[in-house]
Amino acid sequence: MAEVVLFHHAQGLTAGVTAFAEALRAAGHTVHTPDLYEGNTFDTLDEGLSYAQKVGFDTVIERGVAAAGDLPADVVHAGFSLGGMPAQQLAQTRPSRGALLFHTSIWPTEFGAGWPADVPVRIHAMENDPFFAEEGGDIDAARAIVAAAADGELFLYPGDQHLFSDVSLPSYDAEATALLLRRTLEFLASR
């Protein structure tokens, strides 16, 4: 079974993020869910992003890197949206058994020379998510990461929601999340 560090999205460590972690634990995986917001959660994405801006995106990433500091070097690094930033940085700069980026990806050059070919990666997003797929979104970065990885896949789901895998949010899509969870468990089983 895999050991996973799972970083929350911009609305904080919500009940939906915790539920997702519990689903991974129920399959036998060890899952750590650091709280990068020090207990704060937000009702809307805009409120959460405002908080992250106020604290500083670099500070949020630093909190994630620090939270993973005591974990074994070969964990799977995973993150939802904003949480994808520390997950991606860790996967690119530390030994990693793999990366799971949900609703996000960042140009790999932000964290060094590029995506390490030996780090397997799965990226999941909705095909019409305005944060991910529209011009200036993350889809081009996702394609670059997948192309650089010896074992990389980009999964696009029908729809236009951003945080579709968080059961506690109005954007939740049960069908897409079930498929995302199945693919995630398959990935983790191979780690």
Q: pLDDT by residue for the chain (191 residues), tens digit each?
A: 999 999 999 999 999 999 999 999 999 999 999 999 999 999 999 999 999 999 999 999 999 999 999 898 889 999 999 999 999 999 999 999 999 999 999 999 999 889 999 999 999 999 999 999 987 779 999 999 999 999 999 999 999 999 999 999 999 999 999 999 999 999 999 99
* Per-residue CA distances from 123 to 46, 69, 139, 146, 154 (Å): 23, 24, 10, 8, 5
Asked if residue 187 lies in contact with residue 120, where contact means CB atoms within 8 angstroms, the answer is yes
- Which residues span the domain enclosing 142? 3-189
Q: Where are the alpha helices (DSSP H) in the chain?
A: 15-26, 45-55, 57-67, 84-93, 139-148, 174-189
CA dihedral (43, 52, 124, 91) positive or negative: negative
Look up the CATH number of the domain holding residue 134. Answer: 3.40.50.1820
pTM: 0.97
pLDDT at position 73, please?
A: 81
Q: Which residues pair with 102 in a beta bridge?
A: 80, 124
Kindly compute the dihedral angle of the four CA atoms of residues 4, 39, 43, 130, in this order, to the nearest 10 degrees. Answer: -40
pLDDT at position 135, please?
A: 77
pLDDT at position 27, please?
A: 98
Number of domains into which the chain is organized: 1
Whose tokens are 């106020």? That residue is 54
